[in-house]
Structure 1
Amino acid sequence: MEKRITLADIAEKAGYHPTTISMALRNHPRLPAATTEKIQALAKEMGYRPDPALGALVAYRRNSSPKQQAAPLAYVTYWDTEWGWKTSDAHLTFHEGAVARAEQLGYKVDHFWLGNPDLSHERINEILLTRGIRGLIIASHMPGSDREPSLEWDKFSSVKIDFFPTALHVHTISNDQRSIIQLAFHKALNAGYRRIGCVMPRWWDDYVNHAWSAGLLASQLYLPEEDRIPICLFEGKPLGDQCISTSEFEKWRQEYQPEVIISSAPFVMNAIDTLQLRIPEDFAYIDFFLITTESKTAGVYHNCERVGELAVEILAGQLQQNQIGLPEYPTVTKVEGTWIDGASLPNKVKV
């Protein structure tokens, strides 16, 4: 029997991550058109055919009850504006993943904004019940806002994406920030670096219950004390300018002399460009929040789409089992990141 060509086969030949292949074959709008066309052409050349059994199953789920409306789920956000959370790549992708998975499972996702000045939480609660919505995804709460929604939780099944509101104890789905930064740190170690620095705004660490700093500090235990560089936590603004000042960055860099810096482009690139520093000549660089698997920069892709998908899957399971109300034992599900090789982290280890 002829071997079926898989996404992994195409990824290996194309030199892209399987996630990128999947996105290209679905004409995902976040990929450049040239990349999509290149991958689709290669897939055709290799004889790739979608699995007909899987396609039939999806079609059956979508069409088996054509007269029945999709069951509604609520995607509940609290940002400074109704759609302000869409300016964040992570939060936008959480939502995209949730909407796509909901459609596959026979649900639709309706958005509710808790910051609506014309609707109290009590009124939103009434609307949810009137529309027959029993499943809630609590997501995209603005940094610095920790207000628990005033809803009748005993009438809903609920999950939460990320950690806010902290007082709401429901099943939570999040990126695994601790393992993501540890992955970045150990990739730097394996490449031969020892003085490994990290730059991020303080609010970014606060927002995830200090998971970033916890992972980094734990990883530093692999180094002698003289090589452990203090984290550069600067006072950035969550909804404004997120870049460290040039003077603060350079003072930290000159004092600790990092061989490699772990950060994210919005946090450091303005300072690096202003100082006319070169990567990797002046120091190597790892971006621990890549927004695409196609990046030429070494770093970690967060798989935020999978966070949204899992939120829907876990919520659907609760609804199917009639698990209503706040859980007695809330769980936390973490999604690991995917390492992406790049020229910004050359190998110092002699082979």
Structure 2
Amino acid sequence: MAGKRVTLSDIAKRDGSHVTTVSLAMRNSPKLPEATKKRIQKLAKEMGYVPDPALGALASYRRRAKETRSKETLAYVTNWTSRWGWKDDRSHAQFYEGATEAADAIGYQLEHFWLSEPGMTHSRFSKILFTRGIRGIIIASHSREHEAPLELDWKGFSCIKIDFFPHKPQLPNVSNDQCGSVRLAFQKALESGAKRIGLVMHRGWDMSVDRMWTAGFLVEQYLVEEKDRLPVCYFPAAEPREVWENETEVEVKIDTARFKEWYEKWKPEVIIGNRVFIADAMKELGLEAPRDFGLIDLFLYEKNGKDAGIVQNHRFVGATAINMLASRLMRNDLGLPTYGRTSFVEADWTDGESLPTK
């Protein structure tokens, strides 16, 4: 026969404290001193205490039912070069749309904060959130220029990050599956009958996702015959480290002469990239897809029948971030995690006229 389940009352009796104190300690509440929480948590472990998920969910529901009717606010924190500049990037705008919809669906409201407000410091920002009772934070839309570590008062907050910047501190994050997307694109190119498959990529886009675009392409390219392995056509030609370090945005523009040189030398049968990015060069050189080569667009936002490529589910990325954050808040999981964790959201493939089958 199984032994009696250890309860919070059992732990309170052994510790000589009130059951409410034990409950707060087990929920890692900031209302208790760290020493008290650690002592009680250690005792609970020694006694073999295992939380009951059903009771935990019920208790969480009761606590929320007693709270004010107004929705709890979550902070959506950006650090672009301007307050709303990230909205000009359609993917980042959709992150926010998905997060807003998901937050509303589960009883939260999302409020935007810009970390580069005049006079704003990380310490001041922490105090603003704490004073307003905001515990949950989504770190989103941080441009490459803002790579300095975030130094918030983490012990009072739960946080989820969208995408990769800034890299420090280590936070749970969610992103599109760029590596998987470009691998899928390469596989679809092979299925079409093509052998010589090239990637045209802006270095800034690649750097913003920790070079996952390049990583996925090289993995797939390794599996084809060496004679069919084309070098990536990057723009700019060399990585301008001094530009990244000086915090200046690189213009997203293709070099037609360089594209022509690469195209004529390597003669790709399929190009993986972005139609908008290479459109000017194609027009100037008199090239058309699929007449001259198959074209797979990595940055589609909807299926249009014309373009074959990848539809990235940006709204679902935002929604996933909210659901991950809500889960942490329900467990009162505050502070920095011991280990980082990254969740990737898969993209959808769509057929189109730009990639005919041979």
TM above 0.5, yes or no, is yes
The equivalent of 2:314 in structure 1 is 304
The equivalent of 1:335 in structure 2 is 345
Deviates more, 1:314-323 or 1:240-249: 240-249
Please report how far the alpha carbon of residue 239 of structure 1 lies from its aligned counterpart in structure 2 after TM superposition: 4.8
For the structure 1 residues 65 and 97, does the alpha-carbon distance in structure 2 shift closer, same or farther, using more than 3 Å as the test? farther
For 2:115, the aligned partner's letter is L
The equivalent of 1:57 in structure 2 is none
The equivalent of 1:213 in structure 2 is 214
2:305–2:353 CA contact under 8 A, matched in 1: no
What SS does the aligned partner of 2:320 have? helix
1:243–1:271 CA contact under 8 A, matched in 2: no
Structure 1: how far apart are the matches of 2:223 and 2:314?
Answer: 29
**Structure 1 runs not aligned, ≥5 long:** 1-63
What SS does the aligned partner of 1:222 have? coil
- Residues 132-177 of structure 1: per-residue CA shift (max 9 Å, x gap): 1000100100123202222101110001000011112111100010
Please report how far the alpha carbon of residue 204 of structure 1 lies from its aligned counterpart in structure 2 after TM superposition: 1.4
1:1-351 alignment runs, 5 A limit: 68-235=69-236, 239=249, 241-294=251-304, 296-348=306-358
For 1:292, the aligned partner's letter is E
For 1:99, the aligned partner's letter is T
2:179–2:215 CA contact under 8 A, matched in 1: yes
Structure 2: how far apart are the matches of 1:207 and 1:85?
Answer: 13
Please report how far the alpha carbon of residue 65 of structure 1 lies from its aligned counterpart in structure 2 after TM superposition: 9.4
Poorly superposed stretches of 4+, deviation over 6 Å? 64-67
- Residues 292-314 of structure 1: per-residue CA shift (max 9 Å, x gap): 23352000001000000000000
For 1:307, the aligned partner's letter is V
For 1:256, the aligned partner's letter is W
1:243–1:266 CA contact under 8 A, matched in 2: no
Q: Which has the larger radius of gyration?
A: 2
1:293–1:301 CA contact under 8 A, matched in 2: yes
**TM-score, normalisation: structure 2:** 0.77
Structure 1: how far apart are the matches of 2:299 and 2:261?
Answer: 24
2:137–2:157 CA contact under 8 A, matched in 1: yes
| Aligned-residue RMSD, C-alpha | 1.8
For the structure 1 residues 294 and 66, does the alpha-carbon distance in structure 2 shift closer, same or farther, using more than 3 Å as the test? farther
The equivalent of 1:26 in structure 2 is none
1:243–1:269 CA contact under 8 A, matched in 2: no
Structure 2: how far apart are the matches of 1:235 and 1:173?
Answer: 28
Q: Percent sequence identity over matched residues?
A: 43
Please report how far the alpha carbon of residue 115 of structure 1 lies from its aligned counterpart in structure 2 after TM superposition: 1.1
2:142–2:165 CA contact under 8 A, matched in 1: yes
**Structure 2 runs not aligned, ≥5 long:** 1-64, 238-242
- Residues 287-338 of structure 1: per-residue CA shift (max 9 Å, x gap): 0110223352000001000000000000000000010001112211000110
What SS does the aligned partner of 1:140 have? strand
Structure 1: how far apart are the matches of 2:292 and 2:330?
Answer: 56
- Residues 62-120 of structure 1: per-residue CA shift (max 9 Å, x gap): xx999611110000110110000001111000000000000001000111111111322
Q: How many residues align?
A: 285
For 1:321, the aligned partner's letter is R
Structure 1: how far apart are the matches of 2:109 and 2:153?
Answer: 22
2:304–2:352 CA contact under 8 A, matched in 1: no
1:71–1:107 CA contact under 8 A, matched in 2: yes
For the structure 1 residues 65 and 263, does the alpha-carbon distance in structure 2 shift closer, same or farther, using more than 3 Å as the test? farther
What SS does the aligned partner of 1:165 have? coil
**TM-score, normalisation: structure 1:** 0.78
Please report how far the alpha carbon of residue 124 of structure 1 lies from its aligned counterpart in structure 2 after TM superposition: 1.5
What SS does the aligned partner of 1:271 have? helix
Structure 1: how far apart are the matches of 2:299 and 2:141?
Answer: 17
